[in-house]
Every structure is written in structure tokens, then in C-alpha cells.
Amino acid sequence: MDNLNNSAFRIPNYELIVILGATATGKSALALKMAEELQTEIISADSMMVYKNFNIGTAKPSKNELSRIKHYLVDILEPQEKFSVVDFQNAASKIISDLHQRGKIPIVVGGTGLYIQALIEGYKFNSAQDINDQGKIQKSFQSHFKETGELIYNAKVIGLTLDRQELYRRINERTKKMFDAGLVDEVKHLLNSGVNRNDQAMLGIGYKETLEYLDGNLTLDETIEKISQATRNFAKRQFTWYRRMKYIEWQNVQ
């Protein structure tokens, strides 16, 4: 993170800091550093980190990191529970308000672009169909930002990016480290504890492929490559999503 432009840490008069980017770009590390310097707290904008005991495959902050800085919307749900963009928007808005009352500038960090966009652009949800219809959200959805051209918070939105080949190298390396750290044992423990393989959390990248490995349908090397490829594809989709957010201040992390 030392090669980031120092402007990332100049935060006068902002109500909110947002750190986003593709997976493996170093968002969590930067958020921790900024939170410690600004003496504030972190709100996770990650659709998988909400689930309890799904740690390695989600690249969840370590126990030490969670103890250093208060994190919200991490480890709050059981694996079978649903968590929508509306749930995130409502929960995060309340946390931001509470932190403002304590004189803190909240830091929102994560790679779920829809969550972040809905929060800071003020999406207006009218029905369950709105929540689940991606086409409607992207093409005809109403929001405070569409109506006024302004975000609902005076926010500094920092996007982390790096050379595509370096990003893919990091993704491949991180996938291997997940298996070294015990991803297979984590999935076995989840199954033994009663988690259903069709639960929402088990459908995430890393978990469904590891289930294939445990079923004997993939070798370990094939599993690692399949997860790496799925993660690389996910990173492409993340950057595609961010292109519509013209207010992002991009920082190259190389």
C-alpha cells in the first residue's frame, strides 16, 4: 500500500470513505490502515463475509484484524439466511448514522458493487422484483443520484486497480494460499456442522468448487484452477460494474 498516492489519506470534510476494487487488489489492507489513522470503524460491503464460519474462502479479515478495528456486517448470518442489497442498504445507512453521531467518518470497503452503488447513490426499492431484477436495476432504476447528479453522502470513493496480469497472478496465488490455510477442512467442518450444500453461502466461489473436489469430481489441481478461473472472471465483472461509477478516484496499487 505504500505506493498509493498520499491523497488517499487526505480526507477533509468527508462524511464517508469508500474503498472498492476487484478481488485481491488490497482493499481490506488499505481500509485497516486508514481506519487506524483516522480512528474510525469499517463497514463491510461484501455479500459473502456476512456469513458465520465462512472464513478462508471469503478472505475474511483475520481475528487479529477484526480485533484491531471494529468491523460491521461481518459474521452476522447463518449460512441458509438470505441477504439482499436492501438489507445491506438499510443496515449500512443506520451504522453510518450511528458513527456520525460519535464523530467518526465511516469507511465502507468491499467488492460488491451493487451494494456500494445502492448505498451511496440512494437507490429506491419498491418491490421484491426490484431487488432481484438486475436488468431493471441497471437500465431503469430510480435513485437520488439519477435525479440530482449527487451522491447522498459527501463521499470520497477510492478505487484500487493494478495491471491485469499482476491481478491474475495475485488471484492465483491467493487461491493456492486458501488451500494451504485449510479451505478443504473448512468446507468439511461446515458440512459436518449441518450446513446444507445448497445454502446461500455454499454457492460462493471457492465453496461450490471445493464441494466438487470432496465429491471426487475434480482433482485438487483442477479445483484450484477452477476457483482461480472463476475468481478472475469475477474480477472482470467487478471492473465492468465500476465503469458506470464515474465518481470513483482510481489509485494504482503497483
Q: What is the pTM of this model?
A: 0.90
Residue-wise pLDDT for 74-88, tens only, equals 999 999 999 999 999
3-state secondary structure 65-76: HHHHCCEECCCC
Contact 56, 158 (CB under 8 A): no
β pairing state of 249-252 and 155-161? parallel
**Nearest-angstrom CA–CA distance, 191 and 184:** 11
| pLDDT tops 90 at residue 32 | yes
Give every CB contact of residue 224 below 8 A, 6+ residues apart in sequence.
Answer: 175, 176, 179
| pLDDT tops 70 at residue 128 | no
HSE (CB half, 13 Å, CA atoms) of 42?
28
User: What was the pLDDT predicted at 139?
Assistant: 53
Give every CB contact of residue 167 below 8 A, 6+ residues apart in sequence.
Answer: 22, 24, 25, 235
Give buried/exposed letters for 186-218 (b at 16+ CB in 10 A, else e): bbeebeeeebeeebbbbebbbbbbbbebeeeeb
Q: How confident is the model at residue 127 (pLDDT cuts 50, 70, 90)?
A: low
| pLDDT tops 70 at residue 7 | no
**Nearest-angstrom CA–CA distance, 134 and 121:** 16
Q: How many helices (H) and strands (E) does the chain have?
A: 11, 6
CB count in 10 Å sphere of residue 64: 7
Please state, rounded to an integer, the average pLDDT across all residues of the chain: 91
Residue-wise pLDDT for 146-156, tens only, equals 999 999 999 99
**Nearest-angstrom CA–CA distance, 85 and 4:** 30
Ordered structural domains, the chain, with CATH: 6-163+239-252 (3.40.50.300), 164-234 (1.10.287.890)
What cell numbers appear for 135 in the block?
A: 436488468
Residue-wise pLDDT for 154-193, tens only, equals 999 999 999 999 999 999 999 999 999 999 999 999 999 9
Give every CB contact of residue 243 below 8 A, 6+ residues apart in sequence.
Answer: none
